[in-house]
Amino acid sequence: MPQQFLNIGGLVALGFDPTGEFMLTITHSGRGVFRVGTWERLARDIELAYPNAGIGIGIGPIAGLRIPMISINYDTGELAAQTPDQAFGIHYAEGTVTIEPADRRDTIDQ
């Protein structure tokens, strides 16, 4: 699977539900939920709900769940994370989330 891109301006933090199936994003204009792997947006709201003590509250298919969040580095304006199963690396900068499949090639002993 090639790189994929999500345009998410004003990202503050992101996190994953306990199953790793959903990614919660929190921005300066609300929250969104994406399905991990397809990256389809499943839910969006415009209520401001910034993380509190590193926890975001889910919406849509993860409504009410307390999700541990990874916050943006305000010094660099970037955020880096991996999906819980480490299948994808996620990098945010300048309004774009870049999703990169992890290198899953096996090492061949010679």
Tens digit of each residue's pLDDT (9 = 90 or more) over 14-40: 999 999 999 999 999 999 999 999 999
Q: Answer whether 0.75 is exceeded by the pTM.
A: yes
The average confidence (pLDDT) of the chain is 92
pLDDT at 37: 94
pLDDT at 12: 97
| Distance in angstroms (rounded) separating the CA atoms of residues 55 and 34 | 17
| Distance in angstroms (rounded) separating the CA atoms of residues 59 and 61 | 6
pLDDT at 108: 33
